[in-house]
């Protein structure tokens, strides 16, 4: 089921990447918006881009890897004080050695340790789904 975004929402895609019961998280740099928080990799969809094409591009730009984008796992609409984001989370498989091109750090986090990583509110809903077994990768 798809959630329709508010008219002014920024369309974003993010990848939930699992390997051996570990989830890939990327740490933001210090700065004005969500400094040093951990997040699923991804970014804004450019005009005319499909969600899967945008996510493949973002993973290449952020992690220097090729990817296969799987099914959509969840949709989250979240209002921040200055903007609203409409994030579609997809499962993804990565090929190549990860390099943090735009993030401060990368971590393969065991599921049970996810609560120890501060994540933005939209990502927190996905973390909760992973911990409760509500998100399926099959």
What's residue 26's pLDDT?
Answer: 97
> In 3-state terms, what secondary structure has residue 83?
coil
85-to-72, 104, 132 alpha-carbon distances in Å: 17, 22, 24
DSSP codes of every residue in 1-16 = -PPPPPTTPEEEEEEE
Domains of the chain: 10-131 (3.90.79.10)
How is residue 76 written in tokens? 């989250």
What's residue 1's pLDDT?
Answer: 45
Question: What are the tens digits of pLDDT across the range 107-136?
Answer: 999 999 999 999 999 999 999 999 998 886
Query: Is 103's pLDDT higher than 80?
Result: yes
What's residue 34's pLDDT?
Answer: 74
Question: What are the tens digits of pLDDT across the range 39-82?
Answer: 999 999 999 999 999 999 999 999 999 999 999 999 999 999 98
Mean pLDDT across the chain? 92
Whose tokens are 């929402």? That residue is 9
Q: What's the pTM value of the predicted model, to 2 decimals?
A: 0.91
What's residue 6's pLDDT?
Answer: 74
List the one residue out of 55, 35, 47, 51 whose CA is nearest residue 118: 35
């Amino acid at each position: 089921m798809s959630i329709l975004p508010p008219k002014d929402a920024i369309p974003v895609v993010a990848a939930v990447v699992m390997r051996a019961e570990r989830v890939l998280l990327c740490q933001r740099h210090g700065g004005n918006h969500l400094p040093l928080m951990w997040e699923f990799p991804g970014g804004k969809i450019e005009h005319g881009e499909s969600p899967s094409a945008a996510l493949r591009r973002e993973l290449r730009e952020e992690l220097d890897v090729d990817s296969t984008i799987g099914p959509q796992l969840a949709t989250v609409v979240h209002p921040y004080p200055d903007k609203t984001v409409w994030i579609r989370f997809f499962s993804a498989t990565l090929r190549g050695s990860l390099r943090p091109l735009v993030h401060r750090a990368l971590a393969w986090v065991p599921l049970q340790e996810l609560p120890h990583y501060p994540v933005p509110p939209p990502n927190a809903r996905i973390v909760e789904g992973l911990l409760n077994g509500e998100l399926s990768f099959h």
